Amino acid sequence: MIAKKLLTTIAFAFVLLFSGCAKDDFQEVDGVCPLVISTIPTSDAVGVPLNQIITATFNEVMKPSTITSTSFLVSANGAQIAGTVTYAGSTATFTPNAPLLPNTEYTGTITTLASDSKGNFLQENYVWTFTTLKTFTVGVSSNPTIGGITAGGGTFVEGTTVTLTATPNPLYTFDNWTEGGAIVPGAGATYQFVLAGNRTLVANYSLIPPTQFAVIVSSNPILGGVTTGAGLYDEGLSVTVTATPNAGFTFANWTEGGVIVPGATATYQFVIANDRTLVANYVPVQFTIALSSSPLMGGTTGGAGTFDTGTTRTITATAAVGYDFANWTEGGVIVPGAGASYQFVLTGNRTLVANFVVEPPLQFTVMLIADPNDGGIVTGGGSFDEGSLVPISANANAGYTFVNWTDINGVEVSTNGTFEFLLTEDSTLQANFILDTVAIGECPNPAVDLGTAKNYAILAESGISTTGTTSVTGDMGIFPLEATYITGFDLILTAGAAYSTSSLVTGKIYAPSYAVPTPTNLNTAVNDMHTAFTTANGLAVDVTEYLAGNLNGQTLTTGVYKWGTGLSITNGITLDGGGQDCAKFVFIIGQDLTVGDGAIITLTNGAKADNIFWVVAGSKAELGTTVQFQGNILSKTLISLNTGATINGRLLAQTAVTLNAATVVKP
């Protein structure tokens, strides 16, 4: 039929070509009238896709301005549908705004408003029809209904690939799909097919034969009570066992294999999935012994709790230091004959109070020492009652600075010149002072610009740790690792704060997880630290390989020193500023910096710690025990301060900083 219509159209076009456009009074320009010679879909087409774009092709080039939504119409059920009309070559295209409706006849119309490029109009409306794809229904169900869940049914367009699933419920298994009572061959629990008509399918399930399990129950002790619920049960059934205590007993718990069954009450219900052997445990009726101390700080008591009736119980009263046991009272009445250790047979609840009295106080001696003796004055020594809070103070003499208090074993007690401590024994405390050989304060034009890294006494990237009683004066920061890598400082962080604090730090501690602007500030400071390290290594050098890196008592003048190897300082050195305020000292060290135990860096004639830089490229910069160090350490890796080491300067490490009862003071 399509071929016949096409031949007719072509024949008609030839007639018009030679006979002119005779159906109106229009004077043709060229003797050729425009005709529609083909369409997509073709006339009377069926099964048209819902996303079909509709076209009409003419026998000649048309005037584009006449191919519009008024000359190219598509309608369904008597209503015109919305779409976009375009024209290219000799083909007009209608693109629907929405997918076509299924199983619907559409009518396409090219009206006589369409003309060719010479002004010849279509002589009559060109009309054709086509029908879209049909829709079909897929119905699914389960047999039996409780056997499982089927899914995938619904209404679909013809030709759609439909996927059905059959999911069996517990205790059921999937058998097959049937349609009209006949098994669908080859269809598994997931069944996929191309839809060509309505279908009604049933997912068939069958019950898995049940497995039986045994429940055994018993009582412990046998006289404690009666248990019920033993027997054989199908797998998956709900089983209830009960424990009923006899007179004088209460139910305690159920155990299985010696392990308490969590949450199981005297009436215990469970879904059986295996053999079970349950024991109902009973305990005798119990009474409570409640104990307290008067006064509360007078001592401690032992033996309180809940116990079986008729048992012999022992309670004890232990006096605290400074107190003696007086008696036991019950209801305000003294218990006759009851000593600090009191034994009785429990026949009911008891509430007893252990009474204590203060014993005469002991006295201890506090001895104070100044080291060196002319370093300062110590006050507060003497004899005091045990448990007293004893205030002591250390005031440095001119030319000295107080460092810390240490005990008789050399362990640091406090870095505060004045403090109080609780006296529990004879105590000897030593106030330690150092000579004021160091000029303090920041220098306005340092030899190496630290940027924002100068704001930190300690700045590290992978960790800051301490053991012993360390003291840091100045801020600390870590980046990019978190505050969990700062150990030994017992950080205190208020929710939402930008910094934390520590009893060991006179300053603030910053980490990247704290509130803004801390993360950005830390990132900038670490970048500045790297820049300073690079800048320092690029400075013009005044002295190279001085004494092959082995210094012991020398006096060095201002300048930039460089060693390709490590630098070792044995007993200490003096840095002489030559009368220049903030004299420049830069030490560029290709390997490790090692400062021996007890070594002292002495500054004279204008040298200040703020303008002294130790730039270490090796595996570590290590200060030995009791070292007194001056200046800023910029280390490619680890900085380590051993017991009692002090530094007036900054510790800036690209890995970690470790401290052992050390002191760090930012200039």
Structure tokens at 331: 């209801």
Cis, bond preceding 262 (omega within 30 deg of 0)? no
Per the prediction, the chain carries an average pLDDT of 91
For residue 295, give the 3-state DSSP assignment: coil
pLDDT given for residue 441 in this prediction:
57
Confirm if 466 and 535 have CB atoms less than 8 A apart.
no
Confirm if 595 and 662 have CB atoms less than 8 A apart.
no
Q: Where are the alpha helices (DSSP H) in 246-373?
A: none
Give the DSSP per-residue string, 524-566.
HHHHHHHHHHHHHHTSPPSEESGGGGEESS-EEESEEEEESS-
For residue 5, give the 3-state DSSP assignment: helix
For residue 58, give the 3-state DSSP assignment: strand
| Per-residue H/E/C for 152-221 | CCEEEECCCEEEEEEEECCCEEEEEEEECCEECCCCCCEEEEECCCCEEEEEEEEECCCCEEEEEEEEEC
Q: Which amino acid is at 250?
A: T
CA distance 461 to 533: 14
Give the DSSP per-residue string, 211-257.
PEEEEEEEEESGGGEEEE--EEEETT-EEEEEEEEPTTEEEEEEEET
Confirm if 626 and 598 have CB atoms less than 8 A apart.
yes
CA distance 482 to 475: 16
Residue 603: enclosing H or E segment and its boundaries?
strand 600-604
Stretches in the chain below the pLDDT threshold 50: 1-20, 22-30, 437-440
Confirm if 629 and 601 have CB atoms less than 8 A apart.
yes
pLDDT given for residue 13 in this prediction:
42
Domain boundaries, the chain: 36-132, 135-207, 212-284, 286-358, 363-434, 453-665
Percentage with pLDDT > 90 across the chain: 81
CA distance 533 to 512: 22
CA 8 → CA 3, 163, 215, 251, 546, distances in Å? 9, 47, 91, 102, 111
Percentage with pLDDT > 70 across the chain: 94
Other Cβ atoms closer than 10 A to 18: 8
CA distance 17 to 11: 10
CA distance 215 to 268: 12
Other Cβ atoms closer than 10 A to 291: 19
Among the listed residues 83, 122, 127, the one whose alpha carbon sits nearest the alpha carbon of residue 105: 127
Going 52 to 58 to 62 to 67, the CA torsion angle's sign is negative
Strand partners, 561: 543, 587
Q: CATH: 2.40.10.170, 3.90.1150.10, 2.60.40.1220, 1.20.1250.20. Which one for 36-132?
A: 2.60.40.1220
pLDDT given for residue 664 in this prediction:
97
pLDDT given for residue 311 in this prediction:
87
